[in-house]
Chains A and B, each alone.
Chain A
Amino acid sequence: MKKSALPCRESKPMEKENSAFKPPVTNLKRRKFLKNSFIAIGGLGTITGLAVNNVFAGEQTAASPLKDPESFADGSHLERMRVELLRALEKPVDQRKWVMVIDQQKCVGCSACTVSCNSENNLPPGVVYRPVTKVEVGKYPDVSWVFTPRPCMQCDNPPCVSGCPVNATWKREDGIVVIDYDICIGCRNCIAACPYNARTADFGDFFGLETPEIMDYETRPNFEYSKEWPRNPGSHESPIGNARKCTFCLHRVRVGMLPACVTTCLGGATSFGDYNDENSLVHELVGSGRAKRMKEELGTAPSVYYLI
């Protein structure tokens, strides 16, 4: 019989490994068996305890990103992006070009990115930075879903910026389009001007507004633009009354953390990085031949690419 060329088909070492866990009852006396069992259980407990300890240690580390940014398993594409992100942060800001690549073949439409984004930015009702559209294509029996996450496109030629009457929004040197909440007058011209519906307005609503109590999580501040933005019912303080948008989690990126949507994408569909880094994952993906940009004919030059 011809031997399989695929390493994963080689089952013998695994079988050997498994055989080591078979209880050798037949050749041992009862006392020896019990003694060995206690040792084994104790050993397992110690290993488990150490493992659990490491997990918590990891969480504690992740909670202080400035000291040691979150890390992922070696070889994972998250870890690659994280390393690339740290490399990019060593360059001057005008030499970076942040780009997001979304693989629609990998996206499973779980909306974990939407949820993590809402949680990260503490988004109120009416504000959403990254919805995922789900469109059914084909006809039974050949039917499928097409999932399209839609962050801000961070256009190189953004119509929202040209339309703002008070210069409250602009494009940073690294490509991210930002809003100064303290200047924005809330005319919503930028929202009307965006051809992707990627900007939303904060009308000061709360999920619990018509319920007996507004929960604590709704009144916690958000930390967009690395600043604390308090939020209280009845308040008219910014960002209430402002236009709001995705910033590729600029406040996280600044401290070496990937955007929340990237780290929570369970299919590994969303990639993020510096397009000016020729060795980066995003540079590789954009050049793959599968990359398209949304409504490119409008000349907005989005920084978000879709692999279709």
Chain B
Amino acid sequence: MNKAQKTILFIIWLAVMIWGLTGVFRRLVHGELLVNYGSYVPWGLWVAAKTYFVGISVGASILAWVVYAFDIKQLRPVVRPALLVSAATMAAGLIVISFDLGHMWRTYEVFTRPNFSSMLAIATWLSMAHLIYVIAALTIELKPGRTHSSTLRIMGWFGLFLAVTFSGGNGAEFAAMISSPYWHSSLGPIMSIGGALLSGVALVLASVALFPFSPEQDNPQLLKILSRTVVGLIFFILLLEWSEFSISMWYARGEDYNLLYSILFGPYAYVFWFFHIISGSIIPLILLLWKPAQRLSAGFGGAMVAVFYFAVRLNHVIPGQVTPAMKGLQQAYTDKWLTFAYFPSSNEWAVFGFSVALSVAIFYLGIRYLPFSTTNSIEERGE
């Protein structure tokens, strides 16, 4: 990357960060007065963003755990970027969800007085365990000297267990709710794990292809393996979605039918068709199948999958809340907070922008100041 490109990227990052900081400031001063979610759509952009960031974090870490557990030498160079991506996105997820809380300074209560029948409490505990584990693995990975392969294997298996449990728990957080037939699906946890893998591996592919920081990463074979993994995962997610949509809509009736129809053909249909299907699936598939080992093709393909997977998260979180529990409820008491329509406010977008800029900053500072570019690290392990 030349200096001009770096400058342009820095200016974009700085602009997003400043915009985001204004949003954070306004959130801290005005509380939740500047949000567009309300009492009937209580979870908005920030909750969707949390599931998105957490998904990427889990997916990227799973890649590292698989390499450890199965000792896949060809994929060794992706372990460090995968762990760094995981830590950076997890931090963003935790930050953005803290702004969603009505009393963010009471978050510690989830640890001091947890209710373990709540999927949210379980997911919060697992999220902290996941973050600590990722940071610990990153520390071990960056430690100079040797780490025995059997130790890494055990770390990998435990990491896999933790990541799959955590990701499944995140899906179950929604799927266990009887209030929304759309969420209440046994496919929920599977979709959560699959989506995490897809978005996480895709972002690692993008970072390795576009910003390689060690010569081992500039390896066509490595890119090819990652590209094919992402292609397989795209088809897996599309298969799950087909299953979810076709079963619920086949006979054009039933509780979910109208809701799914509105996702496909309603006013926000572009989120599904343009962002998810075209930009997040078809174009990346073309790029990744056409030139899977070429840096730009694989990099942009991966980046598009990772970025536009946010559309899937939005389409999961928001539509699950837009059906009134009773007919006529919205008209029963008219208030701007009591509506079943939702589009994020500018301040919600700004805080989301802050979390994105924060995760980018953590990733950049990681590769800039941590000993990532040592070329002999793999050989040093000598397994």
CB within 8 Å of A: which B318-347 residues: 321, 324-329, 331-333, 335-338
* B328 x A125 contact (CB < 8 A): no
User: Chain A 71-83 against B: per-residue CB contact (8 Å), 1 yes, 0 no?
Assistant: 0000000000000
- Complex partner residue of B109 from A114, A183, A242, CB under 8 angstroms: A183
Please tell me if B177 contacts chain A, counting CB pairs below 8 Å.
yes
Contacts of B42 in A (CB 8 A): 188, 191-192, 201
Among the listed stretches A7-15, A40-48, A58-66, A156-164, which one makes contact with chain B, having 4 or more residues with CB under 8 Å of it? A156-164
Asked if A195 contacts B178 (CB within 8 A), the reply is: yes
Contacts of B232 in A (CB 8 A): none
The interface-forming segment of B2-10, B111-119, B372-380 is B111-119
The answer to whether B140 has its CB under 8 Å from any CB of chain A is no
CA distance A125 to B109 in the complex (A): 27
User: Cβ of B335 and Cβ of A126 under 8 Å apart?
Assistant: yes
List B residues 179-209 near A (Cβ within 8 Å). Answer: 179-180
Cβ of A126 and Cβ of B179 under 8 Å apart?
no
Q: How far is the CB of A40 from chain B (nearest CB, A)?
A: 51
Q: Which of A138-189 contact B (CB under 8 A)?
A: 148, 150, 159, 162-168, 183-189
- The CA of A200 and the CA of B178, in the complex, are separated in Å by 18
Asked if A6 is at the interface (CB within 8 A of a chain B CB), the reply is no
Q: Closest Cβ of chain A: how far from B80's Cβ, in Å?
A: 33
Most buried by B among A127, A191, A197, A240: A197
- With A128-B333, A195-B178, A204-B33 as known contacts, state yes or no: A185 contacts B110, CB within 8 Å: yes
- In the bound complex, residues from chain A placing their C-beta under 8 Å from that of B109 are 166, 168, 183, 185
Could you tell me which B residues sit within 8 Å of A by CB distance? 31-33, 35, 38-40, 42-43, 100-104, 106-107, 109-110, 113-115, 117-121, 124, 177-180, 321, 324-329, 331-333, 335-338
A168, A186, A199: which has the most chain B beta carbons within 10 Å?
A186
Q: Which of A129-137, A222-230, A257-265, A279-287 contacts B (4 or more CB under 8 A)?
A: A129-137
Please tell me if the beta carbons of A165 and B179 are within 8 angstroms of each other in the complex: no
Q: Is the CB of B38 within 8 A of A201?
A: yes
The answer to whether B103 and A167 have CB atoms under 8 Å apart is: no
How long is the Cα–Cα vector from A88 to B120 in the complex, in angstroms?
Answer: 37
The interface residues of chain B, by DSSP majority, are classed as loop
Closest Cβ–Cβ distance, residue B117 to chain A (whole Å): 5
Which residues of chain A are within 8 angstroms of B338 by Cβ–Cβ distance? Answer: 126, 128, 200
Contacts of B107 on A, CB cut-off 8 Å? 185
B-binding residues in A (CB < 8 A)? 114, 125-128, 131-135, 148, 150, 159, 162-168, 183-189, 191-205, 209, 236, 238, 240-243, 294-295, 298, 300
Closest 8 CB pairs of A and B: A186-B102, A126-B337, A241-B102, A200-B39, A165-B121, A131-B332, A133-B328, A188-B42
- Taking a contact as CB atoms under 8 Å apart, the answer to whether A163 and B39 are in contact is no
Tell me how far the C-beta of B43 lies from the nearest C-beta in chain A, rounded to whole angstroms.
6
- Nearest Cβ distance between residue B289 and chain A, in whole angstroms? 39
The CA of A238 and the CA of B105, in the complex, are separated in Å by 12
A201 to B101: give the CA distance in the assembly, Å: 11
Decide yes or no: A196 and B326 within 8 Å by CB, A166-B114, A201-B38 being known contacts.
yes
Expressed in whole angstroms, the Cα–Cα distance for A128 and B109 within the complex equals 27
Report the separation of the CA atoms of residues A148 and B101 in the bound assembly, to the nearest whole angstrom: 32
